[in-house]
Structure 1
Amino acid sequence: MGLYQQLQERQERNMPLRVGVVGAGKFGTMFLAQALRIPGVHVVGVADLRVDVAKSNMVYAGWSPDRLEAASLDAALQSGTTHVGEDAMAMIDHPGVDIVVECTGNPVIAVDHALAAFAAGKHVISATVEADAVCGAALVARAEAAGVIYSQAYGDQPAMTVELVDWARTCGFEVAAAGRGHKWKPEYRFSTPDTIWDFWGVTPEQAERGRLNPKMFNSFLDGTKPAIESAAISNATGLNAPTHGLSYPPGAIDDIATLMRPRSEGGVLEEAGMVEVISSFAADGTMIPNDIRQGVWVVVKATSDYVKNCFEEYMVSTDDSGLYYCNFKRFHLIGLELGLSVGSVGIRKEATGTSKEFRSDVVAVAKRDLKAGEMLDGEGGYCVAGQLRPTRISVPMRALPLGLTGDIKLLRDVPVDTILTYDDVEIDESLNAVKLRRECEAMV
């Protein structure tokens, strides 16, 4: 039975999945826009430090103001409406919430929310993939110990790529590579919130209309978010990170099968079984038609002449050897697709992607010459960008995780394009995110 039918049945029995959303920014608002139309789901509460902004976003997304005025979570449960407040921990702890959707985008806070949810016996769907990159395997272990689920968020590219990899392996294919697309030029590594909209191709007016956060979008452009999402894919699927980080080979959708082969077979991979990101810019800086910038993909290899012949007989588009085939979703719809995670976790008790190990990491790299005494400003800011590395390299060198660079003090100068280490900064070892990070590092 499909998820939609099962959700309908829950609606008919007045037994909805009761959801609490933490963070009503872009991702949270996109989900909330769709939640109005999903049967069997009751958004009991929304927690955001800016209650007025959260309500404004929800009204902008189609909610009627009267549905947001429940005075408490208890009142929301009784009336079928939604309570919007600022106390995330109170909502997480409330017995009327079954599933917590964490979409603050702040990995340190997200870890606190997840641990509180586990302690309260709640499932967590995390759109804060930054937390997954910092300590996802430890979070999964904590969730399993509590008898609950910690899941990646469908609609985000990691969960959608994990789905493609699962499809490939379940069908008996060998996975050569998997990943996402990106609009990439090397100079984007140094982008800041001041340069983002010109680089991104959005006017300031469009950004204001969409209530887009320049720092968040800059984290996509400067390579941080592709690195974070690639780490999440790697840790969920067992695919490896490139030794020196993502290489962003340019190509159209029809080029991916050719590119994503080992170098020994004419591709760009150092070995089979990797994560990578495909650039939508050609070497001369022009946009490539039929690009995968907003999508995800998996490349599989035929492991017998029979399967290779089947590709040919059914006119499948492959590389020139006829062995490699790319399956893809050209677009992802971010929070608009989160209902699949809610249904999967709430009904099937299955995560839509989860970090099984700590195989890949996202290290902080200086965007400019940094000086002792400066305060780092985290993801998408003016100081550092994230780059992907295998944990076999990052952990022994004590590389500073990108997700721990928010509002921490530099102890010494760091030259541009240098990977920061723990020795370069003041780290608060009392933070839950740091404690779980240490648990992950012990896994390597």
Structure 2
Amino acid sequence: MNLAALLAARADAGRPVRIGLIGAGKFGSMILAQAQHIAGYHVVGIADLDPAKARAALNRVGWAEERHAATSLQTAFDDGTTFVTDDAAALFAHDGIECIIEATGHPLAGLRHASAAIDAGKHVIMVNVEADVLCGPLLAARAQKQGVVYSMAYGDQPAAMCELVDWVNSCGFELVAAGKGMNFCPGYRYSTPDTVWDYFDFTPEQVASGDFNPKMYNSFTDGTKAAIEMAAVANATGLDCPGDGLAFHPAGLQDLATVFRPRDEGGQLERTGLVDIAASREPDGRVVLNNIQYGMFVTFRAPNAYTRDCFQQYGLLTDPSGWYGSMWRPFHLIGLETSVSVLSAVLRGEATGASTRYRADAVATAKGDFAAGDMLDGEGGFKVWAKAIPAADAAAMDALPIGLAHHIRLKTSVKRDQVVTLADVEVTEDLDIFEMREAQKAMLSE
């Protein structure tokens, strides 16, 4: 670990790492909260559709007003301040900006921003997992050709899972599964933005503070965010989604190695090499003992008896046989840690996880029975949840990805829990993104 030393050398040489941030919502605010405390880390520009909201975010996280008072990107570049704008394209056009952080949370805007940044020769940190699961493999391939880094955001759970998978592979253990914790039980599946706060302990004052978006939190609750993130991890690691979607096995810390091993070995997995969720609630709603709601984990198998014995000798949590072990990280701090990705991309030319293959997809699945003519409302809404399935299956049925399920009209009726296909909807907008999706299907054979 030498990122801090590399950054210090750049700072001493008068060459700070210069960044453009798109999106000053909750994740972006957390990025900005830490940026002001990292010497040699210069946010040159912030682009947001509502600059006043971006300035309010800067003030809320403790920035002095003079620090974001620059009147142009060039002024900000020259004097070490920050320029706030509503023009994301200006960030791509400025030669001094090395890395773009895409944190809008809007999948279609995210894809367009990332494409333009890559074409401009910028590294891209894709906070926007919704965009990544839609066309991340295609963007990663474009970035490689362009000689820049396309990366997941460290601090978010997918990048942490990729780090754990890399640890397993680097140690020579047999990778069995990777996943994360989540507050979920089957009844949450049909939550809506009107009911979502029933599942959280936030006060009305917290909800009204501006940091709490009901659709975003509903995506966490109904399992959609889990599907998006786990499909992205599959695309980054070569693991697979279960054939019928994530199972959300209830499991506490002490049971990870037992639950997340193959069924023929006494576990719950249909086979090795899968992603899934360690639910923090039992199906009846009871809280799982020692749950890892905010954590990430991997399970792995010892390659030989000597290694199995070492697992026991050094206190690793294992299954009863001792052959299967687990490793976990108990927390993630999302935007507070994203500087690690920026510095890794700029200073080492390395991604902190990247969707380099098309292995999995997150597809729109009906929350109820809906008629032709009804409008779908996308991630975290009233109409659909996302199911993580193998990419080959999604392509074979021509499934509608969750990222394209917003403001699109049904032309056939659908039943509850039915995967929505392209044949079920009227495709009239965002044709450029549909073309990217078609191009990505060619990666299935790679």
Q: TM-score normalised to the size of structure 1?
A: 0.98
The residue that corresponds to 1:207 in the other structure is 207
Could you report, residue by residue, the CA deviation over 1:11-34 in whole angstroms, capped at 9, with x for unpaired residues? Answer: 121101110000000111101101
In 1, distance between residues paired with 2:412 and 2:33? 46
The residue that corresponds to 1:404 in the other structure is 404
Could you report, residue by residue, the CA deviation over 1:43-95 in whole angstroms, capped at 9, with x for unpaired residues? Answer: 00000001111110111011111111111101101111000110011222211
Deviation at 1:209?
A: 3.2
The residue that corresponds to 1:106 in the other structure is 106
The residue that corresponds to 2:24 in the other structure is 24
- Name the SS of the counterpart of 2:137 in structure 1: helix
The residue that corresponds to 1:279 in the other structure is 279
In 2, distance between residues paired with 1:429 and 1:437? 14
In 2, distance between residues paired with 1:436 and 1:349? 25
Q: Does 1:41 align with 2:29?
A: no
The residue that corresponds to 1:184 in the other structure is 184
Decide whether the 8 Å contact of 1:376 with 1:407 is kept in 2. Answer: yes
Decide whether the 8 Å contact of 1:93 with 1:116 is kept in 2. Answer: no
In 1, distance between residues paired with 2:304 and 2:432? 49
In 2, distance between residues paired with 1:291 and 1:208? 29
- Name the SS of the counterpart of 2:284 in structure 1: coil
Q: Does 1:232 align with 2:229?
A: no
- Name the SS of the counterpart of 2:407 in structure 1: strand
In 2, distance between residues paired with 1:146 and 1:262? 41
In 2, distance between residues paired with 1:290 and 1:315? 17
**Which consecutive residues of structure 1, in runs of 5 or more, have no partner in the other structure?**
none
Superposed CA RMSD in Å reads 1.2
Deviation at 1:210?
A: 5.9
The residue that corresponds to 1:217 in the other structure is 217
In 2, distance between residues paired with 1:99 and 1:29? 17
The residue that corresponds to 1:380 in the other structure is 380
User: Superposed, which structure 2 residues align to 1:137-148 within 5 Å?
Assistant: 137-148=137-148
In 1, distance between residues paired with 2:435 and 2:15? 38
In 2, distance between residues paired with 1:311 and 1:144? 38
Q: Does 1:57 align with 2:86?
A: no
The residue that corresponds to 2:358 in the other structure is 358
Deviation at 1:206?
A: 2.0
Deviation at 1:428?
A: 4.2
In 2, distance between residues paired with 1:199 and 1:22? 30
- Name the SS of the counterpart of 1:117 in structure 2: helix
The residue that corresponds to 2:84 in the other structure is 84
Instruction: Supply the AA of the counterpart residue of 1:151.
Output: S
> Mean alpha-carbon deviation: is it higher for 198-207 or for 417-426?
198-207
In 2, distance between residues paired with 1:385 and 1:283? 18
In 2, distance between residues paired with 1:430 and 1:226? 25
Deviation at 1:427?
A: 2.1
Deviation at 1:205?
A: 2.0
The residue that corresponds to 1:302 in the other structure is 302
Deviation at 1:430?
A: 5.5
> Mean alpha-carbon deviation: is it higher for 367-376 or for 166-175?
367-376
Over 3 Å off, 4+ runs: 428-432
Identical pairs, percent:
48
Deviation at 1:281?
A: 0.5
Deviation at 1:356?
A: 1.7
Deviation at 1:435?
A: 1.8
**Which consecutive residues of structure 2, in runs of 5 or more, have no partner in the other structure?**
none
Decide whether the 8 Å contact of 1:111 with 1:432 is kept in 2. Answer: no
Could you report, residue by residue, the CA deviation over 1:207-253 in whole angstroms, capped at 9, with x for unpaired residues? Answer: 22362111111111111100000001111111111000000110111
In 1, distance between residues paired with 2:82 and 2:289? 44
In 1, distance between residues paired with 2:422 and 2:257? 39
- Name the SS of the counterpart of 2:250 in structure 1: coil
Could you report, residue by residue, the CA deviation over 1:247-287 in whole angstroms, capped at 9, with x for unpaired residues? Answer: 01101111111001100000000001110101000243111
Deviation at 1:429?
A: 6.9
Could you report, residue by residue, the CA deviation over 1:373-399 in whole angstroms, capped at 9, with x for unpaired residues? Answer: 222211111111101111121111111
Decide whether the 8 Å contact of 1:159 with 1:352 is kept in 2. Answer: yes
In 2, distance between residues paired with 1:431 and 1:76? 36
Q: TM-score normalised to the size of structure 2?
A: 0.97
